[in-house]
Amino acid sequence: MQNYYRILGVSSTAPAAELERAYRALHARLSKRAARDPALNERLTEAYSGLQILLDPRRRWAYDQLLAQQPTPPLSGSRALLHRYAPVARWLNVALLAFCALLALDVALPLRELPGELVLRRTLVSVSVSAANPQVAYDIRTPLTRFRLASSIAPRAREGQFLTVWRTPLLGVVRRVSSPSSVEGAAPFEPYGTGVYGGALAALPVALLLTAALGAWPGRSAEMRVNTAVAGSLLWLLTVVVMWLF
């Protein structure tokens, strides 16, 4: 006897709306390949048949009675592990979503202005991507901030000079700098690179958001929850490393 709940990837107490969402997600994931694969086509057919039964309260009640009389087949070792860790994986995906929300809020809130930041140290660092094209930048440290400047604008931030720094209010990421006493003028300029707050690297938190949302969404299979949690954790680690470096 087919277990339609397992085919749809939902629990036996799933309401009608969750059953329909699960079927739509399964159909969207398999429909293109099912046209060429008879096994996937049969799986979609079984899922649709099961959906019709489970959406009818009387037929669902009768089906549940029959299903309860069937012996439960033991899960294989890998599947048992997936089902064991699926709840933890879902909460991890929720935590990753909260991290994405923190980043979004940090970007949306007004920048905090820090006037009179004294340049304590200026360190030359290499930012080359290859030995054939050597490039350098400068790490700038003040009492409350740390950021990097391209070599072309580094003379605006000499040791002992006072700067005005604008950083995000929650995570303290420096977004703009001004050097009022510089001969080049007090016009604000941006630090070297923009990290995950702009440019190509902004794709990292976007990918993290999509991955975590997919794993936290109701009705996901245990395998999807665990896989998205692992992928999301790697994306989170990469995002944090980029934020630290830039």
Decide if 151 contacts 138 (C-beta within 8 A). Answer: yes
Tokens of 121: 């140290």
The structure tokens 């087949």 sit at: 73
Ranked by mean pLDDT, the top range of 38-42, 56-60, 125-129, 130-134 is 56-60
Does 75 have pLDDT greater than 60? no
How far is the C-alpha of 165 from the C-alpha of 189, rounded, in Å?
10
Chain centroid to CA 130: 29
Residue ranges of domains in the chain, CATH in brackets: 1-73 (1.10.287.110), 110-193 (no CATH)
| pLDDT computed for residue 233 by the predictor | 95
The CA-atom distances, in angstroms, between 229 and each of 8, 79, 224, 243 are 21, 16, 8, 21
Q: What is the DSSP string of 149-206?
A: EETTTGGGS-TT-EEEEEE-TTT--EEEEE-TTSTT-S--BPPS--GGGSSGGGHHHH
pLDDT per residue over 106-141, tens digit each?
999 999 999 999 999 999 888 765 556 667 889 999
Using a cut of 0.75, tell me whether the model's pTM lies above it.
Answer: no
For the chain, percent of residues with pLDDT exceeding 70:
93
| pLDDT computed for residue 100 by the predictor | 94
Residues in the chain, overall count: 246
Higher pLDDT, 93 or 136: 93
How far is the C-alpha of 64 from the C-alpha of 48, rounded, in Å?
17
CB contact set of 135 (below 8 Å; sequence gap of 6+): 126, 127, 128, 129, 151
Higher pLDDT, 74 or 69: 69
